[in-house]
Amino acid sequence: MKRREFLRTTALGIAGTSLVTVFNSHVFAQDSFPDVVWVENGQPKNLLQTAFKEIGGIHRFISKGDIVVVKPNMSWDKSPEYAATTNPELLSELVKMCLNAGAKEVKVFDRTCNNPQRCYKNTQLEEVASAAGANVTQIRKNRFKDKAIPNGEMIKEWPIYEDYLEADKVINLPIAKHHSLSRVTLGMKNLMGVMGGQRGSIHSGFSKKIVDIGSELMPTLTIIDAYRILTRSGPQGGSLDDVKLTKTLIMSPCMVTADCTALNLFDLNLEQVGHLNEAVRRGLNKYDLNNLQIRKLSLS
């Protein structure tokens, strides 16, 4: 081998290896994705698109042919500006993104507190989600299936909506609100909308019971709508004075992490919120909360 050839081969080799490294960083980049994304100062649509870009794209979560359940909060007979229910623009955009990402079907439903027809209509969520291509259905009472909770401390079994259990992917889309009993209602509390049975009985011993059931219902992705938040008289509100325009969106593959991050919106810390504290105590958070990889950005 001539020296020249040797040098060329070596150079090519090094170049090739470095290429592999560059390639590598794309293939195995999951480790460098943030644990949670916090985007603020934008319109719901932009907030969502930016957050997905930062967290690694919707393809990280939705695969072709998936049946996706998107669970907004449409529990109250209130129009969107009262911040009692999920922002319709956000839901609409999310449904579209899921379908564009190849989802076979996007299902939207909620077991409401007020009359279901009124809630579906007046929150505007049924209309926008259907227009975006989602399958919006009323809860059918025969479709709750008892879900065993082997690790439950107070609850060992609870009826859960079948569509939720059977979905390939679940995106939890709560709105951030004040709540007298649990201090705040975020991702974990939003899952009450897929629970059957006598939900009121969850209220006594709330922290333990909600974490018992929630631990079996962990969604693929949690997106907290904090475009408008309700700061008091929650979870129902009804007065515009209690609504704060925060123009924020929080996204994380870990529901507990997303919820804990969202406490900053209300100037609360973990010790003040019983059910989240309980969830962390049981280690339901995927990421280390003391060393959180949080990507925070502000759109102009």
Partner 1 sequence: MAKTRRVFQILFLLFFVVLFINARYPYSGSLPSDIFLRFSPLIPLFDFIQNLRISLLFWPALIILVLTVFLGRIFCGWICPLGTTLDITSCFIKSPPNKKALRFQKLRSLKFIVLFALMALAIFSIHLWGFLDPLSIFNRVLTVVFYPFATLAVETGMLATSEISFLEEPTYWLYDQFKAIIMPENQAFLHQVFWVALFVGGILAMEKLSRRFWCRNICPAGAFLGLLSQFRFYERIVGDACPVCNKCQTECKMNAIPEGDLKKTSKIECIESFNCGINCPPKISAITYRWRWKPYRSKPDYSRRHFVQTAFGSVAALGLISIGLKNRSQKHQTIRPPGAVEEDLFLDRCIRCMECVRMCQSNGACLQPGGIHSSLLELWAPVAVMRTGYCEFNCSLCGEVCPTDAILPLPLEVKQLTPMGLAYFDKDICIPYAQNTDCLVCEEHCPTTPEKAIQFQIKEAVLKDGSTSLVKYPYVTKELCIGCGICENKCPLPGAPGVYVTRENEKRLDPVSLREESA
Give the nearer residue to partner 1 in terms of CB position, either 114 or 293: 114
Q: Find the angle CA(181)-CA(228)-CA(270) to the nearest 5 degrees.
A: 40
Closest CB 217 distance from partner 1, rounded Å: 20
Closest CB 129 distance from partner 1, rounded Å: 15
Give the nearer residue to partner 1 in terms of CB position, either 196 or 253: 196
Closest CB 56 distance from partner 1, rounded Å: 35
Closest CB 95 distance from partner 1, rounded Å: 18
Instruction: Please tell me the distance from the alpha carbon of residue 87 to that of residue 260, in angstroms, as a whole number.
Output: 21
Give the nearer residue to partner 1 in terms of CB position, either 33 or 206: 206
Q: Find the angle CA(15)-CA(16)-CA(17) to the nearest 5 degrees.
A: 95
Give the nearer residue to partner 1 in terms of CB position, either 40 or 242: 242
Q: Is 293 exposed, middle or buried (0-12, 13-18, 19+ CB in 10 A)?
A: middle
Closest CB 147 distance from partner 1, rounded Å: 19
Give the nearer residue to partner 1 in terms of CB position, either 180 or 290: 180
Instruction: Please tell me the distance from the alpha carbon of residue 26 to that of residue 57, in angstroms, as a whole number.
Output: 13
User: Dihedral angle at the C-alpha atoms of 274, 72, 221, 184, nearest 10 degrees?
Assistant: -20
Closest CB 185 distance from partner 1, rounded Å: 9
Helices (H), 87-182: 88-100, 116-122, 125-132, 162-166
Give the nearer residue to partner 1 in terms of CB position, either 56 or 159: 159
Q: Find the angle CA(296)-CA(298)-CA(299) to the nearest 5 degrees.
A: 140
User: What is the greatest pairwise CA distance in the chain?
Assistant: 85
The footprint of partner 1 (CB under 8 A) covers 77, 113-115, 117-118, 121-122, 137-138, 140-142, 179-181, 198-201, 203-206, 233, 235-239, 241-242
